[in-house]
């Protein structure tokens, strides 16, 4: 009899454990952070939030703070930058909070959506130095150890994979990023692909930065 009771108790424990495991699997499957699917309503809500700052067509916004163009951006670059905000490798308090609230699947969906948008560039950059900007973009500045921008970003400025699109980017945003590169990019101890740009940004003068920014802002 004692042996029978022990066997019965063991069976009950196994049944109970199986029930707990099944509940855990169900909970994981429906967890928003771990789900591989993104509900359409949730996606639209996040997209509307992005449009608040980046424009209705993700074309960027020229306000008190210039908001970058996301339209046509390389998905891999967008995903990398959102991770950089989360990991504090790129400093921006607002975007750090936004990125923390996005699941990996949501990040991928948003990046894919922006990739296929192609509104006209906002424009508005000063035009007097565009020819200088084109020369730097196409040929670089060998005397200053500045490689041609086109070597990585492509002759059309549209980038590839983790290399970002520059074409159509807001003039003020590009100027701000290049002149403040070491303050906002490549922070922390983790390896960051943006580190490759640090010497280039450092070796460009303010007027050269403005020229390049003016040129790429007008690329379609």
Q: Flag whether 11 is in a domain.
A: yes
Tell me, what's the pLDDT at 36? Answer: 54
Q: Flag whether 212 is in a domain.
A: yes
DSSP codes of every residue in 148-186 = -THHHH-TTS--BTTBPP-TT--HHHHHHHHHTHHHHSS
Sign of CA dihedral 205, 210, 215, 216: positive
Tell me, what's the pLDDT at 195? Answer: 82
Tell me, what's the pLDDT at 11? Answer: 39
Q: Flag whether 206 is in a domain.
A: yes
CATH number at residue 146: 1.10.760.10
Distance from C-alpha of 209 to C-alpha of 179, rounded to nearest angstrom:
7
Residues 134 and 208 in one domain: yes
149-168 per-position pLDDT tens digit: 999 999 999 999 999 999 99
Residues 11 and 82 in one domain: no
Residues 93 and 145 in one domain: no
Residues 17 and 46 in one domain: no
Q: Flag whether 6 is in a domain.
A: yes
DSSP codes of every residue in 80-101 = HHHHHHHTTSS--HHHHHHHHT
Residues 135 and 207 in one domain: yes
* Structural domains of the chain, count: 3
Domain end among 115, 138, 169: 115
> What value, to the nearest 5°, has the Cα angle with vertex 74 and ends 99 and 84?
30
179: pLDDT strictly greater than 60: yes
At residue 189 the predicted structure's pLDDT band, cuts being 50, 70 and 90, is low
Residues 24 and 47 in one domain: no
Beta pairing, strands 66-67 & 61-62: antiparallel
26: pLDDT strictly greater than 80: no
* Of residues 201 and 2, more confidently modeled: 201
Whole domain around residue 159: which residue ranges? 130-217
Report the pLDDT averaged over residues 187-208: 85
Q: Flag whether 2 is in a domain.
A: yes
Instruction: Report DSSP state, residue 57.
Output: T
Tell me, what's the pLDDT at 1? Answer: 47
Q: Flag whether 146 is in a domain.
A: yes
Q: Flag whether 125 is in a domain.
A: no
Q: Flag whether 121 is in a domain.
A: no
Residues 19 and 56 in one domain: no
Distance from C-alpha of 58 to C-alpha of 71, rounded to nearest angstrom:
5
């Amino acid at each position: 009899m004692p042996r029978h009771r022990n066997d019965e108790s063991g069976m009950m424990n196994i049944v109970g454990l199986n029930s707990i495991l099944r509940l855990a699997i169900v909970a994981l499957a429906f967890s928003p952070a771990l789900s591989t699917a993104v509900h359409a309503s949730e996606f639209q809500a996040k997209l509307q939030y992005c449009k608040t700052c980046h424009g209705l067509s993700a074309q960027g916004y020229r306000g008190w703070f210039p908001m970058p163009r996301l339209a046509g951006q390389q998905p891999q670059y967008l995903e990398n930058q959102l991770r950089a905000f989360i990991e504090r490798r790129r400093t921006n308090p607002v975007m750090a909070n936004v990125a923390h609230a996005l699941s990996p699947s949501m990040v991928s969906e948003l990046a894919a959506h922006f990739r296929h948008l192609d509104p006209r560039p906002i424009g508005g950059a000063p035009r007097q130095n565009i020819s200088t900007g084109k020369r730097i973009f196409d040929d670089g500045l060998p005397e200053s150890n500045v490689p041609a921008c086109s070597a990585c970003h492509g002759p059309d400025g549209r980038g590839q994979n983790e290399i970002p699109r520059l074409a159509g980017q807001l003039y003020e945003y590009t100027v701000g990023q290049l002149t403040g590169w070491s303050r906002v990019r490549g922070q922390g101890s983790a390896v960051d692909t943006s580190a490759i740009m640090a010497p280039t940004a450092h070796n460009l003068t303010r007027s050269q930065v403005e020229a390049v920014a003016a040129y790429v802002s007008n690329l379609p």
